[in-house]
Amino acid sequence: MTETKLRPVRRAPLIGALVTASALLLLAAVLSLLIGARVLSVREMLGGLTGTDHVASAIIWQLRLPRTVVGLVVGAALGAAGVLAQAVTRNPLADPGLLGISAGAAVAIVAGSVMFGVGGGVPRVLLAIAGAAVATALVYLFAHRAPDGLTPVNMTLAGMAVTACLGGVVSGIVLFSASTMDQYRFWVIGALSIPHANVLIPAGAAVLVGAGIALVVAGALDALALGDDAAAALGVHVVRTRLLTGVAVVLLSGAAVAVSGPIGFVGLIVPHAVRMLVGGDVRRALALSAIVGPLLLLTADVIGRVVVRPAELQVGVVTALVGTPVFIWLTRRTRAGSRS
């Protein structure tokens, strides 16, 4: 009887957070359809969606609606990847961008485009996932070989080193290939405009697989937060859980990069935001991150369209401007916690 009474109390904050975040996400999606080089009225937006206003219809269906869908998919993928990465490494600074995973995917795509002529579709997504996997292995290897092992600071430093190195490779390839520069100059920064429309379906499939794996390992990750020995005593297969979580992070991050380029800090900010709202339970954090991630990304994209009109800032620039102070604050808090 007591357990039955307590259950709604525990779930109420999650439900409230989901409803509020969903309402804000709907508002962000509507603003994403309304705001751009030409601001549409609500009436024009509705006319464009239904096809009665031909000018607005072209703007929405050809430009803004695909961009909004990309924001939804990529935001959810990066948010979930950040939750998983921070949970499995027990590192509050873990993020696909900071750990070099996004940079690995970006290098693979740009190199594949230059050397093998890979454009969109399944090959692009597979290249991104392979590059993300190699970068993840490199970061783990470098951090593991440090004198004090796989500490949060070592993993972050290794990730930043790999990111800087791979970022230089991407910049070099883009600069020395004029056709590649024209194709990828905005994508490399992080943008929601799709360079190849046929990449969205295979990327979405990879996100769904990664999300499915995340749901499978979420409960085990909660146990893993108690430590490897305690998790093993509770019946968790530690190595398998870490491996599956790594696969999920690589799938989610690689698919996101294949579509929109290496957008940073979303996977860092979203997990901390959702944990402030619903606590450290991985399943709750994953559920809310699927909404807060797109909310953050679409909001950043709308801001980028407004602040330098009639031009626009790419969404990767906006998230970097927002995420850098958050990263510095988290780094200082992590160091202070390790000293105490």
In contact, 128 and 254? CB cutoff 8 Å: yes
DSSP string, 153-173: HHHHHHHHHHHHHHHHHHHHH
**DSSP assignment, residue 307?**
T
Which of 127, 135, 289, 262 has the alpha carbon at shortest distance from 202?
127
29 touches 298 (CB < 8 A): yes
Instruction: Look up tokens 């096809």; give the residue.
Output: 51
pLDDT tens per residue across all 340 residues of the chain = 344 343 443 455 888 999 999 999 999 999 999 999 899 999 999 999 999 999 999 999 999 999 999 999 999 999 999 999 999 988 888 889 888 999 999 999 988 888 887 777 899 999 999 999 999 999 989 888 887 777 777 888 898 899 899 988 888 887 777 667 767 777 888 888 876 778 999 999 999 999 999 999 999 999 988 888 898 998 999 999 999 999 999 999 999 999 999 998 999 999 999 999 998 899 999 999 999 999 999 999 999 999 988 888 899 999 999 888 888 887 777 666 555 5
For position 4, what pLDDT does the model report?
38
Question: Which pLDDT does position 195 carry in this prediction?
Answer: 66
Separation of alpha carbons 36 and 50, rounded Å? 19
Instruction: Report d(CA 283, CA 84) in Å as an integer.
Output: 10
Task: Find all residues with CB under 8 Å of 94, minimum gap 6, and list them.
Answer: 82, 85, 86, 152, 155, 156, 267, 268
CB atoms within 10 A of CB 14: 19
Position 1 scores a pLDDT of 39
Cα–Cα distance, 80 to 74 (Å, whole number):
10
- Looking at residue 281, the DSSP 8-state letter turns out to be -
Cα-Cα end-to-end distance for the chain: 42
Q: Residue 256 corresponds to which tokens in the numbers above? A: 């996101």
Give the pLDDT score at 286: 96
Three-state DSSP class for 99?
coil
Collapsing DSSP to helix, strand or coil, 55 comes out as helix
Identify the pLDDT of residue 337: 58
Question: Where do the domains of the chain lie, and which CATH numbers do they carry?
Answer: 23-190+197-339 (1.10.3470.10)
